[in-house]
Amino acid sequence: MTPTRTKRIIVVAAVLTAFAGAAIAQKDPAKSGKSHRLPATLETVQWGWLDPKEPPKLTINSGDTVSIETMMHAHDKVQPGITMDQVVELRKANPGGGPHSMTGPIYVNGAEPGDVMEIRILKIVPKAFGVNFNLPGKEFPTIGALASEMPDGFIRFFKLDLAKKQAEFKPGIMVDLQPFPGTLAVGIDPNDPAPRKGGVKDDPMAPVSTLRPWKNGSNMDINELQAGSTIFIPVFIKGGLIWTGDSHCRQGNGEVSLTALECAYKEIVLQPVVRKDMKLEWPRIETRTHWITVGLDEDLNKAMVNATREAVEFLANQKMVPISRYEAYSLVSMVGDCRVSQVVDVRKGVHCMIPKSIFRNK
């Protein structure tokens, strides 16, 4: 072996060793994990609420994989042929709750409050149709960036060409599919300040609506969460309690009209791994090319501050190249691409993308 090659191997090994101690780090997949399937039925899917007292629909071990089926909104009632009046009726039928159909919860053995749940998205297979709609601004004046300018509702269904991974918006306009889960959650944070089901104010374990994303993930609508990406979410409830739904086949940052190209999945294959060597306050994401930090707040400016702070903390604490917090702040300003995730879920979202390419082997 040549000295140059030996040196290169040593450098790469050092970088990988350092990365293993970073705020986001990949471990080798569990080699003995089992495979499971969780179908979407009225017994395994909840409509619009995350209830920590909901009995688990599946129990798995850390490192197992699970293929999860999802439903369209409102317990699969949003189907081709539905009218806007019926969509409005469904929206009003679950006061305070989200429209989302959530498959779960999945209990992961060994997960305890204070741990981090690493969830690897291995595969996504959509079902054959999608829908996009906005609610009528005259009835819902705050839902959608231009709600006051769009007094009437609009709804359109799309046949998805799964072979070509496209949907025709109308003749001459094709939309490439980029499926991702709009909502991916673990069990609720008992300290989540969101309103609770039924107006309950004295029970921290009362159900939380799927409308508002929070530290447990939920309705983040971050379109980078595609197959091949990994999300790290702090655990608040024993067993983790994983749900997914609000399945999307394409969404622009902002999700400005209220909905994306909403769809459902034949399967989304997840591999949850309990991480006891990590501590997080907010979710973080890793893709092949980026690390992504998340900020959420009812005030978009505060969401931006939260996402920026998380990006600074991530860089200041990574082990690949030691930098100060001031240097991290400077670096985020130069390379951090902070994007508005969504503005329609009461709590707005910002995610800051840090390119991995800035770290170079010497």
DSSP annotation of 216 = T
Coil, strand or helix at 229: coil
Residue 296: which of 287, 305, 288, 286 has the closest Cα?
305
Q: What is the mean pLDDT of the chain?
A: 92
Q: Count other Cβ atoms within 10 Å, centred on residue 11.
A: 12
Question: pLDDT at position 3, please?
Answer: 46
121 CB contacts (<8 Å, ≥6 apart)? 180, 181, 225, 226, 227, 228, 229, 230, 231, 268, 269, 270
The alpha carbon of 348 is separated from its chain's Cα centroid by a whole number of angstroms, namely 14
66 CB contacts (<8 Å, ≥6 apart)? 35, 36, 37, 38, 58, 60, 106, 269, 270, 271, 272
Question: pLDDT at position 6, please?
Answer: 41
- Determine the average pLDDT of the residues in 6-22: 38
Please give the single-letter amino acid code of residue 103.
T
pLDDT 10s digits, 149-208: 999 999 999 999 999 999 999 999 999 999 999 999 999 999 999 999 999 999 999 999
Measured distance CA(210)–CA(46) in Å, rounded:
10
| Range in 22-31, 129-138, 222-231, 257-266 with the lowest mean pLDDT | 22-31
Q: How confident is the model at residue 5 (pLDDT cuts 50, 70, 90)?
A: very low
DSSP annotation of 337 = E
Question: pLDDT at position 31, please?
Answer: 56
pTM of the model: 0.91
Q: How confident is the model at residue 15 (pLDDT cuts 50, 70, 90)?
A: very low
Q: Residue 9 pLDDT more than 60? A: no
Cis peptide before 105 (omega within 30 of 0): yes
| Residue positions counted in the chain | 362
pLDDT 10s digits, 322-340: 999 999 999 999 999 999 9
Measured distance CA(50)–CA(91) in Å, rounded:
17
pLDDT 10s digits, 71-93: 999 999 999 999 999 999 999 99
Helix axes 325-335, 300-317, angle to 10 degrees: 120
Question: pLDDT at position 18, please?
Answer: 36
Question: pLDDT at position 28, please?
Answer: 53
Please give the single-letter amino acid code of residue 118.
E
Sheet with strand 337-342: strands edge to edge: 35-38, 65-68, 265-275, 116-126, 230-234, 284-286, 290-297, 348-355, 337-342
Q: Count other Cβ atoms within 10 Å, centred on residue 170.
A: 8
Measured distance CA(184)–CA(285) in Å, rounded:
12
Domains along the chain? Answer: 17-281 (2.60.120.580)
Question: pLDDT at position 32, please?
Answer: 62
Q: Render the burial of 46-60: b for 16+ CB within 10 Å, e for the rest.
A: bbbbbbbebeebbeb
Question: pLDDT at position 65, please?
Answer: 98
Question: 244 phi and psi, to 5 degrees?
Answer: -145, 150
Q: How confident is the model at residue 278 (pLDDT cuts 50, 70, 90)?
A: very high
Q: Count other Cβ atoms within 10 Å, centred on residue 216.
A: 26
Percent share of the chain, pLDDT over 90:
90
- Determine the average pLDDT of the residues in 33-48: 97
Please identify which residue in the block is written with the tokens 């909901």. Answer: 54
Measured distance CA(81)–CA(157) in Å, rounded:
8
